[in-house]
Amino acid sequence: MKVSKEYQKSLKNGVVTKEMLSEAIYAYNKRAKNMRDKAREYRRTRFYTNYDYYGDYCDKRDDYYKRKEELLSYLKPQCVHIVERETWDGDCFDEYFIFYDLGKHSFHTPIGNPKDYPDLPIEDIGDLETYGEDIEDLMSVQTADKIRNGLADGSLTLVLEETNNIEKTK
């Protein structure tokens, strides 16, 4: 995905908009899911190669998720989602996620205990299935990193029209 003139102008002016932040988080998230899927695929076919691609895919997945979490730290979650999962032998268990909604894109982050978020409403959403995406349709890692690093070092400022759920800076 080519950086739009609007994004370029905002970055030149030291500004990150809600849309830009959302696209950067989305780019990291979908790349992480692509790596997750590659790791799963490799684990099923690992007998056909001598090199451990599984570890590489897992490392890349974890790195993209870490970057996603860094950007999500500028936001306040809307609620906790409960997702029912089933094990290979048919047992069911619940997983918990904090949920962020940025309009065009929404994001989940796994958590251990919903009681750690007493101020958030809890919603049972049943199932949650996620997919990767073609990287040609995503913001480049370089642009997402520029946003992430700029927010972290203060050279970029998060400016949003809806300030009720987003902090301006960390």
Structure token pair of residue 28: 């990291």
The average confidence (pLDDT) of the chain is 88
Average pLDDT over residues 107-127: 93
82 vs 157: CA distance, rounded Å: 33
Range list of β-strands (E), 17-164: 79-86, 92-101, 106-111, 122-126, 157-158
Residue pLDDT, tens place only, 63-101: 999 999 999 999 999 999 999 988 878 899 999 999 999
> Is residue 16 within a helix (H) or strand (E), and if so which, with residue range?
strand 15-16
**Can you give the pLDDT at residue 158?**
96
- Flag whether pLDDT at 19 surpasses 80: yes
Structure token pair of residue 81: 């989602």
Residue pLDDT, tens place only, 1-13: 677 889 999 999 9
pTM for the complete prediction? Answer: 0.86
